[in-house]
Amino acid sequence: MKAIIVHGPKDLRIEERPVDALGPGEVRLRLAAGGICGSDLHYYNHGGFGAIRLREPMILGHEVSAYVEALGPGVDGLKPGQLVAVSPSRPCRTCRYCQESLHNQCLNMRFYGSAMPFPHIQGAFREVLVADVVQCVPADGLTPGEAAMAEPLAVTLHATRRAGEMLGKRVLVTGCGPIGVLSILAARRAGAAEIIATDLSDFTLSLARKAGADKTINTASEPDALAPYAADKGWFDVLYECSGAAPALVAAIAALRPRGVIIQLGLGGDMSLPMMAITAKELELRGSFRFHGEFATGVGLMKKGLIDVKPLITQTLPLSDALTAFEMASDRTQAMKTQIAFG
């Protein structure tokens, strides 16, 4: 089978790899669609991010949908030809955090396409994937592209759960890549009353407006546009920080009202924080990392028509054009979510 493998910065190759054997409790899948994520782009463009670096060739990809091809012994509830969304979250289910239902903090997590451990956890951008049946969520009624959006949607649903009560809240979203725009959809579905989004790109901000943001701000052309929201100790109740950029976080903190909640999703390396402002306004800084149970919830919301991810899929290219797809996905003036069609 063919797989998309990164060997180092700007060194992406389509190579042949063997198909894994099908075992008990497993499903053999024929990949349908795969979305290029920000972490995939970090590996492709820079060889990693922060302290996480590539140390060996790695199959990329963790946002995928697939068609069931064969069922291993003991598997039921699925049928050949069925479309499924494939969760990349594969916790061990036995460590102390799994036992506490903190599966996203698993000590032995095998998350597709991750260079955090060594040997690296190989990803899902391959024509044939063998997965545990518990990873496969039926996606009947969705397109392969929609089903492949379940993973980033789950990230924002987990973040929304971490944020707590959302009904009637004023929300600021900084960074309008796929996670930022999906955060707008998730916050609105959870009852947010007002959502304002910021970014440096007019293109991504246009999609944020289509997703339901009440107002968008280009902080490149309007660097002081958040200043009025800092009056009287701030305006916003909740911040989804999706850029991973320190200037965005610092400006947003000034616009948060006392006892506001910061949800940090963006991964851009360590940042310096205005701790005096955080302390004086009694702000809560909460990290949000991956997801687990929210994956199936996201598929269900899409199937019911309660969240529409189709406008976020801006390009779909065939597997043979994977390199072009990665270059396109890196261009924020034209790409929100670039996907690769495997079938």
Q: Which residue segments constitute the domains of the chain, with CATH numbers given?
A: 2-149+309-341 (3.90.180.10), 154-287 (3.40.50.720)
User: Of the candidates 141, 2, 145, which has an alpha carbon nearest to the alpha carbon of residue 64?
Assistant: 145
Bridge partners of residue 86, in order along the sequence: 64, 136
pLDDT tens for each residue of 16-40: 999 999 999 999 999 999 999 999 9
pTM score of the predicted model: 0.95
**CA–CA separation, 132 vs 112, rounded Å?**
13
pLDDT tens for each residue of 148-206: 999 999 999 999 999 999 999 999 999 999 999 999 999 999 999 999 999 999 999 99
Length of the chain: 343
User: Of the candidates 111, 33, 124, which has an alpha carbon nearest to the alpha carbon of residue 290?
Assistant: 111
Cis peptide leading into 119, omega within 30 of 0? yes
Tell me the pLDDT of the chain (343 aa) as tens digits: 999 999 999 999 999 999 999 999 999 999 999 999 999 999 999 999 888 999 999 999 999 999 999 999 999 999 999 999 999 999 999 999 999 999 999 999 999 999 999 999 999 999 999 999 999 999 999 999 999 999 999 999 999 999 999 999 999 999 999 999 999 999 999 999 999 999 999 999 999 999 999 999 999 999 999 999 999 999 999 999 999 899 999 999 999 999 999 999 988 777 888 999 999 999 999 999 999 999 999 999 999 999 999 999 999 999 999 999 999 999 999 999 999 999 8
Are 62 and 124 contacting, i.e. CB atoms less than 8 angstroms apart? Answer: yes
Amino acid at 270: D
